[in-house]
Amino acid sequence: MTDSSPALVLDSPAATDAEPAERTVNFKLVLLALAMGGFAIGTTEFAAMSLLPYFSVGLGIDEPTAGHVISAYALGVVVGAPILAVFFARMSRRTLAMGLMAVFAVANVLSALSPSYHWMLLFRFMSGLPHGAYFGVAALMAASLVPMNRRAWAVGRVMLGLSIATVIGVPFATWLGQALGWRWGFGVTGVLATITFLMIMAFAPKDPPRPGATPLRELSALKNRQVWLTLAIGAIGFGGLFAVYSYIASTLLEVTGVAPYWVPVVLTIFGIGMTCGTLIGSWGADRALMPTAGILLLSNAIFLVIFPFVVMNVWLLTGLVFLIGCTGGLGTVLQTRLMDVAQDAQTLAAALNHSAFNVANALGPWLAGMSIAAGYGFASSGFVGCALALGGLLIWAIALWDSRRTGI
């Protein structure tokens, strides 16, 4: 199958995980619909950080307290991914994806209407619940539409929605929140989620419920050592990227000494790097999955250790931020790896991938923050990030050794 193929008949041998269907499906439109969901999720996840100064004022709380709103979303992701994947294991993937987007849309609209800080905490937690389960189900749906040797390519196209959100969706939601009020920044995500719901309903193939799938079978993933090792690579190794990304604005303003308008420019370039990395990572994973993961982790460690030495030069720093963003392609690679090792527990393993990334999103900034608070400065986030990336590389080496020893 080539990129130019207009459609795929779901009962063909190429549809490795798809259920038989009576109609031909345009897989590009399905991937577009699934990627739109990633775009909606990425927009609200990252825009919440840039809107924090505005909703903290609107809700009458200080910024450190408002930061708990972001933590509530991350907690929702970590909790929601395994619970939803297990309890809805038998549900049709199309139906589950639509249901998750419906919940996501409602929760984001409620976030926009939050009358107080405590209600905001609840609604952001609710918004995070569908995040990991949606990406897990969307990745499996995408992989089911193409031959085995193109699964990472299909998963990468879904993950592109998340990457492109950092380039287009986040700046737009931030601008909307600044121009019309912070509530609009969250409300627009509800609109994007509704569009995703309608696109999945229109384009995704109908698949029957999977009676063979049970919560206990999904939980069997937790007995698999390779699943845990893959998740640990993401939770530790990806923490390096977040250690630097979380403090890049402060580094630019307080260390590099640039004008404020440079901050969104550099963040956009980071997003472009992530988009390129997703494309490159998916291409490499279809050809040599584990070597691609190792190369991305090693590259990340090298770029991060260079970071403290270029923070005084905005041009070198901007170029390096692009390269660090490129290593974000690791997400697609690990998502595909989980499909290989999860056996009969595909949904739970795929969903847990995003719980692992949110652990990284908490771990990296926390450790970097400790270094900064200890007086080593914002530039030290690069050394912390490098240490985490090397930790992920060590776990990758253990996983590779174990895989070759056991044949998994």
Check if the beta carbon of residue 78 is closer than 8 Å to that of residue 359.
yes
Distance, CA of 307 to CA of 294 (rounded, Å)? 20
Measured on CA atoms in the order 269, 276, 387, 131, is the torsion positive or negative?
positive
Distance, CA of 284 to CA of 365 (rounded, Å)? 29
Whether pLDDT at 147 is above 70: yes
Determine the pLDDT at residue 408: 65
| Ramachandran category for residue 116: left, alpha or beta (phi over 0 → left; psi -120 to 50 → alpha) | beta
Distance, CA of 41 to CA of 93 (rounded, Å)? 18
Q: Where do the domains of the chain lie, and which CATH numbers do they carry?
A: 20-212 (1.20.1250.20), 214-408 (1.20.1250.20)
User: For the segment 17-55, what is each residue's pLDDT rounded down to a tens digit?
Assistant: 444 333 466 888 999 999 999 999 989 887 887 777 788
Q: What is the DSSP letter of 25?
A: E
Quickly state the pLDDT bin for 331 (edges 50, 70, 90): confident
Quote the tokens at residue 344: 């009969």
User: For the segment 205-233, what is each residue's pLDDT rounded down to a tens digit?
Assistant: 887 776 666 666 666 667 778 889 999 99
Determine the pLDDT at residue 145: 86
Check if the beta carbon of residue 31 is closer than 8 Å to that of residue 38.
no
Please give the full DSSP string across 345-380, using - where no structure is assigned. -HHHHHHHHHHHHHHHHHHHHHHHHHHIIIII-GGG
SS3 content of the chain, % helix, strand, coil (to 5): 80, 0, 20
Quickly state the pLDDT bin for 7 (edges 50, 70, 90): very low
Whether pLDDT at 306 is above 80: yes
Helix (H) or strand (E) holding 117: helix 117-143
Mean pLDDT over each residue of the chain, to the nearest integer: 84
Whether pLDDT at 60 is above 50: yes
From 11, 56, 408, select the one nearest 227 (Cα to Cα): 408
Determine the pLDDT at residue 262: 85
The overall pTM is greater than 0.85: no
Q: What type of residue sits at position 90?
A: R
Determine the pLDDT at residue 108: 95
